[in-house]
Structure 1
Amino acid sequence: MATCYKVMDGDCARELVGSLREDGFGFDPEITCLLASMGARFTEVEASYRPRTAAEGKKIKWQDGMTAVRVLLGNSVDRGPALVSSGEA
């Protein structure tokens, strides 16, 4: 879930715009939950990555993991799967 890239088609992105509430580190789990509720299929694609150290500006800490849990639980309770439609009638 925690990735630096998410790729989707324009229609899917436009459908998400009005539903997003998070900024910062909560955005990643929120968009993943919304895409899952739309019935999106996820595919992992390998990418080169060299993580930064704290000295190089790495900002994520264990507290950000708690933010992710809060967002995941909040999305499953507050919004439910029907908030974002899958486009199927």
Structure 2
Amino acid sequence: MTYSFPSRETFVWLLLIMATLATFYFSGSTLGSAITSSESRLIMITIAAFKCRLVMREFMQIKNMALPWKLAFDGWLLLVSTIIFIGLGLSQD
């Protein structure tokens, strides 16, 4: 067994931390008028979907499953993200 530092799980964990910090950045009022709140919500939901896919693939071991299962989980994530995007679009500021 070979070990590398950082391990794949550590790298994914650091990526999740950076994505969380990016979400925190876009949720704050430090952006001023450079970005609208609807755009920031869209970015935050996209980051959340990305994080969810990383967790499902790397920590729930979906990457080792058969292709139909991978497609089912990706389809579910796409469906939920789309519903949230539509819901945010219908409730404009």
State whether TM-score is above 0.5. no
Q: Please say which structure displays the higher CA radius of gyration.
A: 2
Whichever structure has more helix as a proportion of its residues is 2
Q: TM-score, normalised by structure 1?
A: 0.31
